[in-house]
Structure 1
Amino acid sequence: MTAEARRGYAKGRAKRREILDQAMALFGEAGYRGASLRVIATRCGISHTGLLHHFPTKEALLLAVLEHRDDVDGAWLSLGGTAGVERLRRFAELAELNSARRGIVELFSVVSAEATAADHPAHGYFVRRYENSVAGAQLAYEEARRAGALRPGIAPGDAGRQLIALMDGLQVQWLLSDCTTDMAGVLRTHMEAQLTVDL
């Protein structure tokens, strides 16, 4: 690949990232249905056709935004091969991270609610995401139990589902409280009541 081709590729990746960032912000502000590709293109300083070169449909852009968020968060949760109690600690740390990313939290809260409709383009994505999130939390609780760190009577499957529901519910409360709800603190208190160790 020539130096010129590498520069063009890097420039294209940078523009794609800018589009994802602007789309994330607008989807969070207006919801998926209320957001316009033309507005996103304008915010990025490109034409509507230029945006379609990177993302041929609004649905493709939404899924790219959601997948990008999951890639970043998934890599962070798995950093260092965390498991068990350490993985549960990471869930609380992720809530701390989210407290500095209002736009992402708004996007997730708005679009996940919209996507309960079976005809929403992200419906399948969110069905799979919740299945994977609950399974990941359940596995962390199972590993904590094998390590002797889970209190008797705590069922990993139920605990995993509760943790994901609590995380998402706290995000809505945090948004509605003008970002004053201590998401990470509530999560830690909840998990520590289930564990024999501190987080």
Structure 2
Amino acid sequence: MKDPEEITPVQEEENTMEAPRKRSTRPRGDARRREILDVTLRLYAERGFSSVSLADIAAEVGITQAGLLHHFPTKAALLLAALQERDDRNAAEDRERRASGMDFLTTFLDLLATNEKKPALVQLSTLLSAESITADHPGHDWFTARYEEIVADTTRELEALLDETKMPAGMTARTAAQWLVGLSDGLRLQWLYNPDALNRHQVVRQFVELLRPYMRG
């Protein structure tokens, strides 16, 4: 009679085998998350943040509101994720341009020209930034930090391109950066009202040409 504690070689192999792993649902979850963000960006571009509910987004995606909340627990969390997604996509395009050898100003102008082919994306940014002006809006801090970052990044790039000793008194790379960002934003609003009456990136290009005499080299 065998000892009940004895394990045969076959039994030992069976007992030491790892339990079958559950199939990961992460790829499917990531795909669903991207779909939610795509729909959110589109609806926000069409109607603005305040006019779009979580129920609207869930219905458009084809899931329950509870399913949506599984990925994004609040409307504010979804807004911030959508803003970051939009920013990440723009950053990826910027990296591709710089990798191809474009300098900063050429990249900046090319981005404006590309965005003119994506009016929904431009409208999205304009609507959300306008709605986020009030301090209690969930996007307020994000846009405040983003504008500071854009001006700081543009200043750093222009400091490398411009010779401030050639510039008029009181003008610096930072003021040029503020003008460039402010001009682009102001023209964006005019362009959305009447795109046929304004070529935004060409107007900004003319401003860039005004900076040429102050460039290094």
TM-score range, shorter chain: 0.7 to 0.9
Higher mean C-alpha displacement, 66-75 vs 116-125: 66-75
User: Are 1:26 and 2:35 an aligned pair?
Assistant: no
Report the equivalent of 1:177.
194
Q: Is the 8 A contact 1:151 1:194 kept in 2?
A: no
Report the equivalent of 2:206.
189
Structure 2 distance, partners of 1:2, 1:97, is 46
- 1:67/1:151 Cα in 2 relative to 1: closer, same or farther (>3 Å)? farther
Report the equivalent of 1:69.
86
Report the equivalent of 1:133.
150
Q: CA deviation at 1:81?
A: 5.3
Higher mean C-alpha displacement, 71-80 vs 105-114: 71-80
| Equivalent runs, 1:94-133 vs 2, <5 Å | 94-133=111-150
Q: Is the 8 A contact 1:99 1:179 kept in 2?
A: no
Equivalenced residue count is 191
Alignment RMSD, CA only? 2.4
| Match 1:152 to one of 163, 167, 175 | 167
Residue identity opposite 2:30 in structure 1: R
- If asked which structure has higher relative contact order (CA below 8 Å, sep 6+), I would say 1
Residue identity opposite 1:168 in structure 2: D
Does the residue aligned with 2:191 lie in a helix, a strand or coil? helix
CA deviations over 1:64-99 (Å, ceiling 9, x no partner): 1111111121233244757xx811211111111211
Report the equivalent of 1:4.
23
Structure 2 distance, partners of 1:62, 1:101, is 20
The percentage of counterpart residues that share the same residue type is 36
Does the residue aligned with 2:79 lie in a helix, a strand or coil? helix
Residue identity opposite 1:95 in structure 2: L
Q: CA deviation at 1:48?
A: 0.7
Gaps of 5+ in 1: none
- 1:133/1:2 Cα in 2 relative to 1: closer, same or farther (>3 Å)? farther
Report the equivalent of 1:47.
64
Q: Is the 8 A contact 1:25 1:103 kept in 2?
A: yes
- 1:87/1:58 Cα in 2 relative to 1: closer, same or farther (>3 Å)? same
TM, length-normalised to structure 2: 0.80
- 1:61/1:79 Cα in 2 relative to 1: closer, same or farther (>3 Å)? same
Q: Is the 8 A contact 1:77 1:87 kept in 2?
A: no
Report the equivalent of 2:11.
none
- 1:179/1:3 Cα in 2 relative to 1: closer, same or farther (>3 Å)? farther
Q: If you compute each CA radius of gyration, which structure gives the higher value, 1 or 2? A: 2
Residue identity opposite 1:152 in structure 2: M
